[in-house]
């Protein structure tokens, strides 16, 4: 911890920063007037932000809430196919509620915030751009400015006026699940993106108020979110102050100078202290020294992790300097308790007035007070929602983001008239193409109906090749009965968001695969596919979809050409452009992308690593580059024994859950909400929060028949080495009064769908507290499980009315 002398010298290291939007005395005096008239209740209301599934326009009126948000995968009326008109209707209702003057109300306009992090990605039919990492590769600020304007326009068309974007994180350890939200490894560079994005979203180039079709921008997550140990989301960033400033602070200086009106606090900690509770970072550094005069907003229940706080009570977060608390579900409790905290003197009136002043200042600047609800302007913007014009910008972005890492014997561009085989499921898979924050929070469970304007990579290749007189065949699994001239293998990561994307290793298709230095799954479909084409002398172009640099040296070595396409979004046709020649074009479409991060040369990063390709690398067509085979360090070189994490803090590839009734299995996707299965809803699953959102399952059986809950990787695992090492299946449970005495725990193997025993052997009944369950693998073996071929390492089965919370499932050594 810093002592006070350090703090004095520390704070002086941060640069005062002047915003392009100056303090306007006439606004300040209007605020003075309002502050005199608003009651304490109304003031605190301005500081509390609820989520639209839990907050109605009537709540906004009755409790005077100053803003609302919608999270990833949250839609008006909870309808995922709500149109942009539905969004606009709801926005208008919220606005009207806040502007009512009956019952003696003083009107203060509300605003609505969303994560439009790659286009207005929560709304069906919106233009979805590549994730930030792809824009980092494209490195074209004019393009970024256009994307910001398109995004602002599509948001404006829905009446949503605040964007929780841009993220200006500087990712250091790519095992972090938010690496794709980072533009670059170079803080200076990220600063340029911050400036361009903020200017484009707010359209405040004249330095004064915002123009039409503009939204407020938020820089996030202050500070150090990309520097956590091991790349753990919401983790600990241990750095000296100067390094914190130079690595993670720099982008904020540019973003604030460009006029950003909000800064979101980071879930992470700096040298042991949660940023949300840090008066030093939020107030002394950001507000007082840097001079930020807008709103500091907390992240989703981030206040509840500050010592001494819960979701519904948290004076320390206000005292640290947060102005608006994002408290999605529990806003009512926090509102009441905060009012009492002020009355009890735990938060000073001065602090409340400062926070309210900032909120009102931003609302005045954004023109929210002046505008009649801008029906006309919104109508105009709506005419451009998801338009061909915006889509063209997305196509350009995709094309410019592609990074060519290898082009042996100048295989690219493929000349016209060829027979092209496209293989790999990612060629026609919008989940992998879009990544996280795409209609759903995790980007899972989406289908073409969710993105009516989207084109898949396969469609794009077909269009381009066929127009030029060639032919395209497609085989998802790589099985073929023809001899193509060239094969394009498209593969990539499953989508993810936040900590759900945290990984132990950067090795592609290695999740849950290696343990104790041994291969567990023996599965590498993309690599097998590439090698099988090579063995038949078919030249292979690999297209890799990823939200982070991956360790793919074996795949690169086996391919003739290798293209990194990141997570391109809705304009999949951009990928085909520089790969295939089209005789009609007079200008060659070239590869422009350059790596925004070093590309790793081993699965587990360490400070002293070499790299396979350095930051800034990327070939153009015609570059003469003979690439030697890259090293393929065996997994055995990675240190230590690692537990096999099945479900810890969220899902990771390749695990999924299933419900089974009468031998019919139903896959349940993360984020799917409550799912029940069977004619009579025999079994039901929902996700809930133990420590963080959706880190636990509640499984309930209603007693109308036998049903099971299963977790598997879709493939048989050999768990013998775990047994030999003395490992156990570990998970935590919470058993409540509904009863769990009739639940069986077991595993499913290829020969035997279920072998198990009563969970009662390991769980104390109805303790109403979380308990750790550890069952030695040998116990499963003696119950009849063939450990060499396990399909489902966890099965819970019952035929009686019962229920159980489950969390943190892994196979690990126990002491």
Instruction: Indicate which single residue of 156, 300, 305, 701 sits in contact with ligand BGC (rule: CB under 6 A).
Output: 300
Cβ distance to ligand BGC smaller for residue 165 or 185: 165
Query: In the bound complex, what is the minimum distance in angstroms from residue 325's beta carbon to ligand BGC?
Result: 12
| Contact of 83 with 354, CB cutoff 8 Å | no
DSSP 615: T
Q: Return the number of other C-beta atoms located less than 10 Å from residue 418's C-beta.
A: 18
Annotated catalytic residue within 299, 400, 511, 555: 299
What is the distance between the alpha carbons of residues 283 and 278, in angstroms, rounded to a whole number? Answer: 8
Query: In the bound complex, what is the minimum distance in angstroms from residue 65's beta carbon to ligand BGC?
Result: 16
Query: In the bound complex, what is the minimum distance in angstroms from residue 251's beta carbon to ligand BGC?
Result: 15
Residue of this chain nearest to ligand BGC (CB atom): 71
Q: Does 330 bind ligand BGC (CB under 6 A)?
A: no
Q: Does 557 bind ligand BGC (CB under 6 A)?
A: no
362 is written with which tokens?
A: 């931003």
| Tokens 């002043």 sit on residue | 357
Cβ distance to ligand BGC smaller for residue 477 or 689: 689
What is the distance between the alpha carbons of residues 641 and 635, in angstroms, rounded to a whole number? Answer: 11
| Contact of 366 with 211, CB cutoff 8 Å | no
Cβ distance to ligand BGC smaller for residue 71 or 593: 71
Instruction: Indicate which single residue of 75, 164, 305, 613 sits in contact with ligand BGC (rule: CB under 6 A).
Output: 164
Site for ligand BGC in 178-237 (CB under 6 A): 220
Size of the site for ligand BGC (CB under 6 A): 13
| Contact of 622 with 409, CB cutoff 8 Å | no
| Contact of 197 with 183, CB cutoff 8 Å | no
257 is written with which tokens?
A: 């100078």
Nearest to 75, CA basis, from 97, 53, 95: 53
Cβ distance to ligand BGC smaller for residue 181 or 598: 181
Question: Which residue(s) pair with 745 in the sheet?
Answer: 757, 796
Which residue stretch of 67-75, 98-106, 144-152, 200-208 sits at the interface with ligand BGC (rule: CB under 6 A)?
A: 67-75
| Contact of 72 with 437, CB cutoff 8 Å | yes
**What is the torsional sign of CA 495, 499, 505, 510?**
negative
Instruction: Indicate which single residue of 299, 493, 502, 573 sits in contact with ligand BGC (rule: CB under 6 A).
Output: 299
Instruction: Indicate which single residue of 547, 694, 795, 810 sits in contact with ligand BGC (rule: CB under 6 A).
Output: 694
Nearest to 693, CA basis, from 73, 110, 272: 73
What is the distance between the alpha carbons of residues 437 and 132, in angstroms, rounded to a whole number? Answer: 12
Buried/exposed code over 559-581 (b: 16+ C-beta within 10 A; e: otherwise)? bbbbbbbbbbbbbbbbbbbbbbb
Query: In the bound complex, what is the minimum distance in angstroms from residue 276's beta carbon to ligand BGC?
Result: 12
Instruction: Indicate which single residue of 20, 68, 88, 115 sits in contact with ligand BGC (rule: CB under 6 A).
Output: 115
Cβ distance to ligand BGC smaller for residue 114 or 489: 114
Burial-class residue 182 by CB neighbours within 10 Å (0-12, 13-18, 19+). buried
Query: In the bound complex, what is the minimum distance in angstroms from residue 299's beta carbon to ligand BGC?
Result: 5
Give every CB contact of residue 749 below 8 A, 6+ residues apart in sequence. 716, 755, 785, 786, 787, 789, 790, 791
Cβ distance to ligand BGC smaller for residue 59 or 115: 115
Instruction: Indicate which single residue of 330, 400, 498, 560 sits in contact with ligand BGC (rule: CB under 6 A).
Output: 498
Q: Does 478 bind ligand BGC (CB under 6 A)?
A: no
Query: In the bound complex, what is the minimum distance in angstroms from residue 689's beta carbon to ligand BGC?
Result: 8
Annotated catalytic residue within 445, 498, 573, 653: 498
Query: 69-98 mask for ligand BGC (x: CB under 6 A)?
Result: --xxxx------------------------
Residue 293 appears among annotated catalytic residues: no
Cβ distance to ligand BGC smaller for residue 73 or 618: 73
Site for ligand BGC in 752-791 (CB under 6 A): none
Query: In the bound complex, what is the minimum distance in angstroms from residue 73's beta carbon to ligand BGC?
Result: 5
| Tokens 């099965």 sit on residue | 795
| Contact of 218 with 164, CB cutoff 8 Å | yes
Burial-class residue 617 by CB neighbours within 10 Å (0-12, 13-18, 19+). middle
Residue 498 appears among annotated catalytic residues: yes
Query: In the bound complex, what is the minimum distance in angstroms from residue 692's beta carbon to ligand BGC?
Result: 8
Q: Could you give the residue numbers annotated as active site? A: 299, 498
Q: Which residues bind ligand BGC (CB under 6 A)?
A: 71-74, 115, 164, 220, 299-300, 441, 498, 693-694
């Amino acid at each position: 911890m810093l002592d006070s002398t350090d703090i004095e010298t520390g704070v002086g290291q941060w640069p005062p920063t002047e915003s392009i939007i100056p303090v306007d005395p006439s606004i300040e005096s209007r605020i003075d007037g309002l502050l005199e008239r608003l009651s304490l209740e109304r003031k605190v209301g301005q500081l509390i932000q609820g989520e639209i599934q839990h907050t109605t326009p009537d709540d906004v009126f009755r409790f005077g809430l100053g803003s609302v948000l919608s999270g990833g995968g949250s839609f008006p009326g909870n309808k995922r196919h709500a149109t942009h008109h539905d969004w606009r209707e709801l926005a208008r209702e919220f606005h009207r509620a806040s502007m009512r003057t009956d019952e003696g109300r003083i009107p203060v306009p509300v605003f609505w915030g969303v994560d439009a992090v790659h286009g207005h990605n929560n709304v069906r039919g919106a233009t979805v751009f590549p994730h930030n990492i792809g824009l980092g590769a494209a490195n074209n600020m004019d393009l970024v400015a256009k994307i910001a304007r398109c995004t602002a326009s599509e948001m404006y068309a829905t009446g949503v006026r605040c964007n929780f974007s841009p993220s200006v994180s500087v990712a250091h350890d790519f095992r972090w699940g938010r690496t794709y939200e980072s533009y670059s490894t170079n803080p200076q560079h990220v600063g340029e993106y911050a400036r361009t994005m903020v200017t484009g979203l707010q359209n405040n180039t004249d330095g004064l108020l915002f123009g039409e079709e503009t939204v407020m921008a938020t820089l996030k997550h202050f500070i150090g979110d990309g520097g956590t140990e091991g790349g753990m989301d919401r983790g600990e960033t241990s750095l000296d102050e100067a390094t914190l400033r130079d690595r993670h602070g720099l982008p904020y200086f540019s973003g604030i100078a460009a006029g950003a009106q909000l800064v979101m606090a980071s879930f992470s900690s700096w040298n042991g202290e949660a940023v949300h509770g840090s008066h030093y970072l939020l107030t002394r550094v950001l507000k007082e020294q840097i001079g930020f005069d807008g709103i500091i907003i907390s992240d989703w229940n981030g206040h509840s992790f500050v010592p001494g706080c819960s979701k519904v009570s948290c004076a320390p977060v206000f005292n640290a300097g947060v102005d608006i608390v994002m408290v999605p579900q529990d806003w009512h409790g926090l509102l009441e308790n905060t009012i009492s905290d002020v009355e009890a003197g735990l938060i000073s009136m001065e602090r409340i007035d400062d926070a309210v002043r900032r909120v009102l200042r931003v609302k005045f600047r954004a023109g929210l007070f002046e505008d009649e609800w801008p029906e006309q302007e919104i109508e105009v913007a709506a005419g451009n929602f998801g338009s061909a014009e915006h889509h063209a910008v997305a196509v350009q972005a995709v094309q410019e983001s592609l990074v060519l890492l290898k082009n042996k014997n100048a295989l690219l561009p493929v000349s016209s008239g060829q027979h092209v085989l496209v293989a790999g499921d990612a060629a026609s898979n919008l989940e992998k193409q879009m990544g996280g924050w795409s209609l759903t929070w995790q980007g899972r469970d989406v289908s073409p109906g969710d993105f009516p304007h989207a084109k898949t990579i396969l469609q794009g290749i077909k269009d381009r090749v066929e127009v030029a007189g060639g032919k395209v065949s497609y085989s998802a699994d790589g099985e073929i009965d023809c001899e193509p001239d060239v094969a394009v293998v498209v593969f990539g990561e499953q989508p993810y968001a936040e900590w759900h994307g945290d990984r132990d290793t950067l090795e592609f298709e290695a999740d849950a695969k290696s343990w104790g230095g041994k291969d567990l799954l023996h599965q590498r479909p993309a690599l097998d596919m590439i090698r099988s084409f090579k063995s038949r002398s078919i030249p292979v172009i690999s297209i890799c979809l990823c939200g982070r640099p991956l360790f793919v040296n074996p795949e690169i070595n086996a391919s003739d050409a290798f293209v990194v396409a990141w997570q391109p979004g809705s304009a999949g046709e951009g990928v085909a452009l520089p790969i295939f020649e089209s005789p009609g074009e007079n200008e060659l479409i070239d590869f422009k992308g350059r790596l925004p991060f070093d590309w790793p040369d081993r699965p587990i990063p360490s400070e002293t690593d070499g790299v396979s390709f350095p930051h800034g690398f990327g070939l153009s067509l015609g570059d003469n580059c003979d690439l030697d085979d890259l090293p393929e360090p065996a997994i055995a070189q990675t240190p230590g024994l690692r537990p096999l994490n099945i479900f810890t803090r969220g899902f990771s590839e390749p695990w999924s859950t299933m419900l089974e009734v009468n031998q019919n299995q139903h896959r349940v996707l993360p984020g799917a909400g409550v799912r029940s299965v069977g004619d009579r809803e025999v079994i039901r699953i929902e996700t809930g929060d133990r420590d963080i959102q959706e880190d636990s399952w509640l499984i309930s059986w209603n007693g109308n028949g036998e049903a099971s809950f299963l977790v598997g990787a879709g493939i048989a695992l050999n768990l013998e080495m775990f047994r030999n090492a003395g490992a156990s299946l570990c998970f935590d449970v919470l058993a409540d009064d509904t009863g769990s005495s009739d639940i069986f725990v077991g595993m499913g193997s290829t020969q035997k769908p279920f072998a198990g025993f009563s969970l009662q052997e390991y769980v104390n009944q109805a303790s109403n507290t979380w308990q750790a369950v550890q069952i030695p693998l040998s116990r499963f073996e003696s119950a009849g499980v063939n450990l060499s071929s396990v399909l489902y390492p966890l099965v819970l089965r019952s035929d009686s009315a019962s229920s159980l919370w489950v969390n943190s499932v892994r196979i690990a050594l126990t002491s």
